[in-house]
């Protein structure tokens, strides 16, 4: 199949506008109970649609470029523990569809496990084109192949070997893109999918929706290099900023070199959890309080949901009580200094999360964003 046009081929597309920012900003929505921190420390963060709508509208007003939602398939009680971590959650696909009708500018990225259940490329091509129409080109797909054997079994499926999942997903997304692009009926017969006289209308506004892939493995990086606009990556080291900064440059170069090999460019996105207070000491006091209230049962439950994903492998268990693939802790000046260093390491965008989302997002908007503008990282 020939190369299909992407949103970046259209200067007026929402993605092209977002990439005009020296550093693009996203918000990692807490569509699951406990957000990103398995800690019992009290906070306002909740999983409900009303709360996530409030966060999205505030992020849009602050000038954020995108919001991102997780998808996972857990049993009763989520990861467990006293807080029943991730016991309640919203579907990312439907949540972003609902947010499309109440927002105007911000990109909306849904996570979808395309190999779970009866998903067919024709389903996703039609659903995606519809969401693209509703959002006026602002919807995007974070395509996930699945990474937990238990999740496959919850759909009555045998687990698929890691690299084989990416080979099957490659065929899936190539067919989806062909359906988005083709002016005529499509016939296709592949190793995994067959279509006869398949057609999708309406067509996407800017070639196709935004494509994202969250990955760190060699097979995943190769897949993202061929298909994605944004690679949602992780620190190969720990959540501690100095360790992350030491190991990120080589990892990011590997991703961008892989894309160059296919004649493409990708942007890299990473997930920091931000704890920002008036002083470094105050911020670290909050960090310590979150950790002290950590729920070990939730971490044990997470370990039981064994994964073959390459993310988080360098992280210590205690770091997960706070959350975030990396952690930015300190005063506004310290947080901005570390963001500048991440940009210098090769990161193109930040997918931010917070412990207490609503007040912490407000604090970020008031204290950190002005300093990012002064530093030339936001316009």
Instruction: Confirm whether 379 is domain-assigned.
Output: no
β-pair partners for 270: 350
Q: What value does the mean pLDDT of the chain take? A: 95
- At residue 248, the pLDDT reads 96
Instruction: Confirm whether 2 is domain-assigned.
Output: no
- At residue 196, the pLDDT reads 98
- At residue 310, the pLDDT reads 52
Range of the domain at 239: 7-374
- At residue 305, the pLDDT reads 80
Look up the CATH number of the domain holding residue 102.
Answer: 3.20.20.30
Instruction: Confirm whether 265 is domain-assigned.
Output: yes
Q: How far apart are CA 27 and CA 352, in angstroms?
A: 5
Instruction: Confirm whether 1 is domain-assigned.
Output: no
Query: What pLDDT digit, counting tens, does each position of 44-81 carry?
Result: 999 999 999 999 999 999 999 999 999 999 999 999 99
Q: How far apart are CA 357 and CA 365, in angstroms?
A: 12
Query: What pLDDT digit, counting tens, does each position of 156-195 carry?
Result: 999 999 999 999 999 999 999 999 999 999 999 999 999 9
- At residue 141, the pLDDT reads 98
Instruction: Confirm whether 273 is domain-assigned.
Output: yes
Instruction: Confirm whether 82 is domain-assigned.
Output: yes
Q: What is the pTM of this model?
A: 0.95
Band (307; pLDDT cuts 50, 70, 90): low
- At residue 85, the pLDDT reads 97
Instruction: Confirm whether 18 is domain-assigned.
Output: yes
**Which residue, 320, 132, 121, 325, is CA-closest to 210?**
132
Domain count, the chain: 1
What are 265's two structure tokens? Answer: 């460019």
**Which residue, 205, 156, 196, 158, is CA-closest to 175?**
196
Instruction: Confirm whether 12 is domain-assigned.
Output: yes
């Amino acid at each position: 199949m020939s190369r299909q046009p992407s949103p970046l081929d259209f200067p007026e597309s929402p993605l092209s506008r977002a990439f005009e920012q020296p550093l693009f900003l996203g918000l990692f929505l807490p569509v699951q109970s406990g957000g990103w921190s398995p800690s019992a420390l009290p906070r306002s963060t909740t999983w409900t649609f009303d709360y996530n709508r409030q966060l999205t509208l505030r992020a849009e007003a602050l000038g954020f470029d995108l919001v991102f939602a997780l998808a996972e398939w857990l049993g009763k009680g989520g990861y467990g523990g006293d807080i029943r971590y991730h016991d309640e959650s919203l579907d990312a696909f439907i949540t972003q569809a609902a947010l499309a009708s109440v927002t105007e500018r911000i990109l909306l990225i849904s996570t979808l496990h395309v190999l779970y259940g009866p998903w067919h490329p024709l389903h996703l091509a039609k659903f995606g084109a519809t969401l693209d129409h509703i959002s006026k080109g602002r919807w995007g797909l974070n395509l996930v192949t699945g990474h937990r054997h238990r999740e496959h079994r919850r759909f009555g499926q045998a687990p698929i070997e890691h690299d084989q999942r990416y080979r099957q997903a490659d065929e899936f997304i190539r067919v989806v893109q062909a359906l988005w692009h083709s002016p005529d009926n499509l016939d296709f017969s592949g190793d995994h999918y067959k279509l006869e006289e398949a057609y999708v209308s309406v067509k996407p506004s800017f070639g196709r929706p935004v494509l994202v892939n969250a990955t760190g493995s060699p097979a995943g990086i190769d897949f993202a290099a061929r298909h994605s606009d944004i690679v949602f990556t992780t620190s190969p080291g720990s959540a501690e900023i100095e360790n992350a900064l030491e190991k990120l440059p080589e990892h990011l170069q590997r991703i961008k070199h892989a894309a160059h090999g296919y004649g493409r460019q990708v942007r890299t996105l990473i997930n920091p959890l931000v704890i920002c207070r008036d002083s470094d000491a105050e911020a670290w006091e909050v960090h310590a309080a979150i950790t002290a209230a950590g729920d070990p049962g939730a971490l044990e439950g997470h370990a039981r949901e064994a994964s073959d994903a390459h993310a988080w492998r360098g992280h210590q268990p205690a770091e997960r009580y706070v959350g975030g693939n990396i952690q930015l802790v300190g005063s506004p000046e310290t947080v901005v200094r570390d963001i500048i260093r991440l940009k210098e390491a090769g990161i193109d965008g930040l997918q931010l999360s917070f412990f207490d989302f609503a007040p912490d997002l407000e604090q970020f908007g008031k204290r950190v964003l002005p300093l990012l503008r002064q530093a030339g990282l936001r316009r």
